[in-house]
Chains A and B, each alone.
Chain A
Amino acid sequence: MTALLQVRNVGIQFGGVRALQDVSFDVEDGTICGLIGPNGAGKTTLFNAISRVYEVSQGSIHFASQDITALPANRIIGLGIARTLQNVGLFGAMSVTENVLLGAHHRLRPGFVNAIFAKGALIDPAAIENEARDILHDLGLSAVADHLAGGLPFGTLKRIELARALISHPRLLMLDEPANGLSHGEVDELSDVILRVRQRHGLTVLLVEHHMRMLMRISDRVVVLENGIKIADGTPSEVKADPNVAAAYLGAAA
């Protein structure tokens, strides 16, 4: 059986700068894959390549055996790839619930004709609203459901983004530094949340994280990038023991 996500020899160039070079790895169905590397290693660039925000210069990306290398960005979520953004991509002018409902955009497929005649939508909007309420409740966000997203604490925003990703019914969930800005207690709690939603929604997770303890704890597999090149790939304990990884992080002479 082929892996859910297959990244093959992917390279990305911005002008003369090679942000990613020849990166290949697989993410097996149902696993949690951690992606680590020093700042500027190309982790977020890789996320942007998979979600088709950046053009891929070389190589190919397959998801569920479908080539997605040349698809437009707005088609990706409908295939079952949902993501969060490093610096949170929520809309301050909308309420928390509305932000979450935006994640179901591709399921509702609103058009002008549907909106005007209030029919034609694939799914009953009320059903989606109930689903949003359940997800918010599950993530402990019921109290802020009617607040505007602007002005809420960063940790809460991260959680809202997770809720928004979940309502899209993803198969692959890509989290970009979900623990960023959280306290120690909150990080542990977030790990539990990720493990729990993975279980409940049957997800595969691709995770970028600087918080090493958390990443090593929940990942089945870890991919290490440095300067746009993959330098290690294996189980958390294998990666920890890899001298290349230690060199990349501590700057020891190789």
Chain B
Amino acid sequence: MNVVIKPRLPIAVRAIVGAALAVVFLYVIPFVIPNYLVSQFATVLVFAIAIVGINLVTGFGGAITLGHAAFVALGSYTTAILVVRYGWNPYATIPVSAALSWVAGWCLGFPALRLQGLYLALGTLVLSITVPPVLKRFEGFTGGVQGLNVGNPEAPAFLPIDDSQWIYFVSLAVAAVLYVIARRILSGPLRRALVAARDNQLVGAVMGVDRATLTTATFAMSSLYAGVAGSLYAMIVGFVSPDTFNVMMSLSLFVGAVVGGITSLNGAIVGAMFIQFVPVWASDIDVSLGGLVFGCALILTLVAIPAGIGGLSERLFIRARLGWVEGASAKRSVVAPVGSAQNEPA
């Protein structure tokens, strides 16, 4: 019932799951499926990175943001401008994008803190509406409506893989590092502090949690994820243009986060696959179906599985694990009546 046990499976099972995931991500996706899908899967990884950012700020920071695409744009344009105008190595631009979007997150997170709930959602929505026109305005720098041609990074000659496989592996490496970082952020004391500040500000403060700093730092971290995703996105597509980073991108990232599970890091990849593939498939059937499927999926998720697909599977996983444990020690989890067994002087 109300029992939480860390979902740790026996080492053999974990090794098998890990090996299966490794085979899928390192072999099946880059080498088995049709080649045109490989770069789409690279995009999936990039969306997943951005969605992990939403998991942090919305799932754990409790702030609804509809302006995530603005930070993705910041990362993309940082890479594009440094590569096109200053001749940088594209990989070297990733840390710059990360740092810039982190700083931008701090600067915007500070006033954003003063807006609660719906107002923050509206404020960030305005942010993502503002970005494309601003990018078009500074034509000399951003390339205006035409955008900038970044070009796809080429695979090193000594590796027997093509360019799309290469950028897939680059994205996979970056996504893996960022996933581990997010896992660490969301473990132990910092997770507790985030949940406390999110669920009850007063108690959080009484427990010594400095909500203002914490939320701003979370906002900055989330922007960093979006910025890195933007950098990789520019390299995968090979081209940036203002209208890519419109409100629709913010909304679809948010839908991806909800469908995958707003507090589920593992769900981010599911949400990313959803926003990458489902609208395209639906549009193949009927042009107008894309948006409809999106809307229905969002409503269905909210009604049927508010925890999202990732959250649901984690919950089933815990339940399965519990069955396991309870089989071993049948009554361990039963609540002892308070005051009966605990009166003995210690």
Q: Are A77 and B207 in contact (CB under 8 A)?
A: yes
Residues of chain A within 8 A (CB-CB) of B4 are 95, 146-148
Residues of chain A within 8 A (CB-CB) of B16 are none
Q: A74-B211, A148-B2 are in contact. Are A140 and B206 (CB under 8 A)?
A: no
Q: Are B339 and A106 in contact (CB under 8 A)?
A: no
Asked whether any CB of chain A lies closer than 8 Å to the CB of B338, the reply is: yes
Residue from B4, B202, B204, B341 whose CB has the most chain A CB atoms within 10 Å = B4
Asked whether any CB of chain B lies closer than 8 Å to the CB of A14, the reply is: no
Q: Are B203 and A89 in contact (CB under 8 A)?
A: yes
Q: Are A91 and B209 in contact (CB under 8 A)?
A: no
Q: Are B346 and A186 in contact (CB under 8 A)?
A: no
Q: How big is chain B's contact interface, by range? A: 35 or more
A141 vs B210: C-alpha distance when bound (angstroms): 29
Asked whether any CB of chain B lies closer than 8 Å to the CB of A185, the reply is: yes
What number of A-B contacts does a CB cutoff of 8 Å give?
Answer: 137
Asked whether any CB of chain A lies closer than 8 Å to the CB of B327, the reply is: no
Asked whether any CB of chain A lies closer than 8 Å to the CB of B217, the reply is: yes
- For the complex formed, measure the closest distance between the CB of A75 and the CB atoms of chain B, giving whole angstroms: 7
Asked whether any CB of chain A lies closer than 8 Å to the CB of B208, the reply is: yes
Q: Which partner residue on chain A sits nearest B210 by CB separation? A: A74
A67 vs B223: C-alpha distance when bound (angstroms): 39
- For the complex formed, measure the closest distance between the CB of B346 and the CB atoms of chain A, giving whole angstroms: 5
Asked whether any CB of chain B lies closer than 8 Å to the CB of A40, the reply is: no
A138 vs B333: C-alpha distance when bound (angstroms): 19
- For the complex formed, measure the closest distance between the CB of B189 and the CB atoms of chain A, giving whole angstroms: 4
A41 vs B345: C-alpha distance when bound (angstroms): 36
- For the complex formed, measure the closest distance between the CB of A178 and the CB atoms of chain B, giving whole angstroms: 13
Residues of chain B within 8 A (CB-CB) of A156 are 335, 338
Q: Which partner residue on chain B sits nearest A83 by CB separation? A: B206
Q: Please tell me which stretch of A4-12, A108-116, A238-246 contacts chain B, meaning at least 4 of its Cβ atoms lie within 8 angstroms of it.
A: A108-116
Asked whether any CB of chain B lies closer than 8 Å to the CB of A247, the reply is: no
**A residues adjacent to B (C-beta < 8 A):** 51, 53, 72-78, 83, 85, 89-91, 93-95, 98, 101-106, 108, 110-112, 114-116, 118, 121, 125, 137-141, 143-144, 146-148, 150-153, 155-156, 159, 164, 168, 183, 185-186, 189, 196
25 CB contacts below 8 A, A to B, read A72-B205, A74-B204, A74-B206, A76-B206, A77-B206, A89-B206, A91-B195, A95-B4, A101-B192, A102-B192, A102-B193, A102-B207, A105-B196, A110-B193, A112-B190, A115-B184, A115-B190, A141-B342, A146-B333, A147-B3, A147-B4, A151-B1, A156-B335, A164-B207, A186-B339
9 more A-B contacts (CB under 8 A) besides A73-B206, A186-B339? A74-B210, A76-B208, A77-B208, A105-B189, A143-B334, A146-B5, A147-B335, A155-B339, A196-B345
